[in-house]
Amino acid sequence: MLSEHERKAQEPIQLDGEFSRDPHAMYRRLRAGGPVRPVILPDDRPGWLVTSYEDARRLLADARLSKDVTRAIGLFPPGTARGYESPLTAGTLMADPPDHTRLRRLVGKVFTARAVERLRPRIEQAADDLLDAMRAGATIDLLDAYALPLPITVICELLGVPVADQDDFRDWTLPFVTITTPEELAEAAQRLTAYLIALIDGKQASPGSDLLSELVQVSDEGSRLSPDEALSMSFLLLVVGFETTVNLIANGVLALLAHPEQLALLRSEPSLLPAAIEEVLRFDGPGHVSTLRFTTEPVRVGEAEIPAGQFVHISLLAANRDERQYTDPDRFDITRQPAGHLALGHGIHHCVGAPLARIEGQIAIGRLLSRFPDLALDGDHGTLHWRDSTLIHGLSSLPVRVS
């Protein structure tokens, strides 16, 4: 018979707005009670929330946790799975081996670290153009003026999206990474699907020098992307190449402005910039809870056994601040060596856009600090609003003074 303490530990916690507004405080409380806890997410998805580094790293690579969206649909509460029923989600993000292995190998032939490195001059130029447009002495929303348009420009150029269409992509992708209604999510999926299908058809008929043109042409031992796979792959690259970088830049600037001694150190030693980006990823990375996973058989985590057919929500934010893994984890320290952080995932589903996010983060933050030596937060840190999202950890706005 369960004790009162054990019974309460198995009761699901209904996660509310605090889960987005101040997740680190909640995670400290949850980790103190064990590495996993049954929860109900703000979008009404039940499951088990994993908050320890050791278990998060292990489960991210555990084959008993499936990402097969077609099998997962039946596990959702009625009316909450509409975004996952879209053909946009049929690619590597929502597949298991061997399909995932084949798809990842195909995209890996095109989206390589060398290919991303070739983008460096264009990223630098795009960053400089946006910085040139900022008026010294003004107060601006750095998210709208810089952290958002830079990744949009880069990923849309990478995919060969016409300039005239780039402004629409923020509106189309937002429902996929924020808490919204099933109806809004379904409408966004319909619009984005129609656009991407037309874009892919154009690339097949008249290939260009962009990544999407290469993707629809690439083959591996006779295997090519099917039309549905090309659609979902372009959606995946759009989201991970855009949302991840937007919030890496904004979260990184905020962390530095909130820790002036670390900002001063980085200004005095610019060679620390790559290490600073890794510490930003660990300290306040752009990913909140990992993408969809469910158990295909019982899985033990700590003293709990998660039954088969249950969602497992692995918190990247919580794992990266686990005191058992990192000394003084709530301290932002750009000289730290945060080896093995989970901000960009782990295992076969490690973020395919990681090289692009790192390069853009280094260029964006490095050039911003060089251009504006007296950059400062406009207002109080406590008044900033974090987006209501279980997938993305990002700000709604970042007001700063540039001088």
**Which position has the higher pLDDT, 153 or 78?**
153
Query: CA-to-CA distance for 400 and 403, rounded, in angstroms?
Result: 10
What's the whole-number average pLDDT of the chain?
Answer: 88
Averaged over 372-399, what is the pLDDT? 91
Of the candidates 99, 45, 53, the one whose C-alpha atom is nearest the C-alpha of residue 325 is 53
Query: CA-to-CA distance for 86 and 136, rounded, in angstroms?
Result: 45
Helices 354-371 and 260-268 cross at an angle (nearest 10°) of 90
Rg from Cα positions in the chain: 21
Residue ranges per structural domain of the chain = 4-401
Query: CA-to-CA distance for 66 and 390, rounded, in angstroms?
Result: 19
pLDDT tens, 126-147? 999 999 999 877 899 999 999 9
Please give the CATH architecture assigned to the domain spanning 4-401. Answer: Orthogonal Bundle (1.10)
Report percent pLDDT > 70 for the chain: 93
pLDDT grade for 2, boundaries at 50, 70 and 90:
very low
pLDDT tens, 83-136? 666 777 665 567 888 888 888 887 777 777 787 888 899 999 999 999 999 987
Cis link prior to 23 (omega < 30° from 0)? no
- Quote the pLDDT of residue 306: 97
- Quote the pLDDT of residue 143: 95
Averaged over 172-186, what is the pLDDT? 77
Q: Which residues contact 342 (CB under 8 A, 6 or more apart)?
A: 53, 56, 57, 60, 316, 319, 320
Give burial (CB, 10 Å; 0-12/13-18/19+) of 182: middle
